[in-house]
Amino acid sequence: MPSAVRPNQIRFAPTRSAGVDLKTCFERFELAAPLRAEPWLWGSAAVLIVFGLMMVLDTTYFLGLEKTGNPFYFFERQLMNLAVGIAVMALMAQFSLRGLRSIAFPLMVFATLMLLAVWVPGLGVVRGGARRWLRAGPILIEPSELIKLATVFFLARYLSAHEENIRDPKFLIPAFAVVGVLAIILLRQPDFGAAVMLTLVLFTMLFAVGAQAKHLGAAGSVALLALVVQAAHKAYRMRRLSAFLNPWRTAQGSGFQLIQSFIAFGAGGGWGVGLGASRQKMFYLPQAHNDFVFAVCGEEFGVAGALVVIALFIIILVRGMHIARCEADSFGSLLAVGLTALLSLQAFVNMAVVTGLVPTKGLPLPFLSYGGTSMVASLVAVGVLMALGRRSGMR
């Protein structure tokens, strides 16, 4: 059993890295082993996925009918997204620690190239003034979801290799530089929410590895100032901030979506109006199937349903951090911290946006929101956590 560690300081002996070699990516291939190791983790994700499928069907029935003539269009696509995600999750759950370490840098390179490819004519897709997607035939891919995963892998490998010197600020510079450059690229798309998530994950992983509080405080101040400047630089971001502070002042403009979200929660009350009975999904609430699906959950299932969703994400958070604490290898431990933070922080930020606690960020709710890349990325994170949980269960 690994020795106890402080929550904000994970210290283990660094291990030697290896190049990519598919023959060494799997120590053994046992389909049932990850399921036995982490039933609370995958079970919570499974409940959220089933609930999300119901909400996608519920919120897109009329949308699909209006846009394509097929009321099940979005639901069928989400089922295909889920099938791909489960297949990739099952594969990642079989990876050995050596295999996970070996794909860290290649994954980062691949994801960065995908992120840059959105500016390639014929590949990049512009929607609503944002250039965030790549077209591959009938499929749209959102590289920002992949870059978040890749950044966690990169940071886990880099920080674990330098954890003995992590209290020296010069060893933090490469991590801040990489995340800073990626954040700038994301802001150019623009994707403010993804840039914020990368920043939050970076500081979470630095805190876990034992970076000094004064260094994190100084860097955090600079990062916060940079994000504030970026927000002030764009008029639409200032409108979002104004709508957050007083949505009723711009009820027919930038505050419209948040007010409709409030109406949804108000109509739901304690126990909700019932599955399928939402009024806000009837084109009153923009992005009801995506960023604001939690509002429809609150309307149809009330406070009780919203609390169940929150509780399931808390279970994922607790189990993920338990895996990180039990993992005896610094890379694996930091990888678990980063992936858990990625899933849980994005979920809590999304729910905070929908309930008016923070300004609008444009982040999907993992497992519940409609979207292929988001679903696959979330299931990859669960698969890796299951692989690490299996290692913990074997000791």
HEC assignment per residue over 297-354: HHHHHHHHHHHHHHHHHHHHHHHHHHHHHHCCCHHHHHHHHHHHHHHHHHHHHHHHHH
pLDDT at position 379 is: 97
pLDDT in tens, 206-246: 999 988 888 888 888 888 887 777 666 666 666 667 667 77
Q: How far is CA 250 from CA 230, 259, 355, in A?
A: 22, 10, 17
pLDDT at position 13 is: 39
| Omega before residue 34 within 30° of 0, cis | no
pLDDT in tens, 42-82: 999 999 999 999 999 999 999 999 999 999 999 999 999 99
pLDDT in tens, 20-31: 555 567 766 565
Take residue 350 and report the two structure tokens written for it. 């999304």
User: Is residue 17 over pLDDT 60?
Assistant: no
User: Is residue 10 over pLDDT 70?
Assistant: no
Q: How far is CA 21 from CA 28, 110, 350, 385, in A?
A: 15, 17, 38, 21
| Global confidence as pTM | 0.89
pLDDT in tens, 308-321: 999 999 999 999 99
Q: How far is CA 90 from CA 112, 223, 287, 347, 385, in A?
A: 25, 36, 30, 22, 11
Q: What is the mean pLDDT of the chain?
A: 87
Instruction: Specify the range with the lowest mean pLDDT, choosing from 11-20, 118-127, 259-268.
Output: 11-20
Q: What is 231-258 written as a DSSP string?
A: HHHSHHHHHHHHHHH-GGGGTTTTTHHH
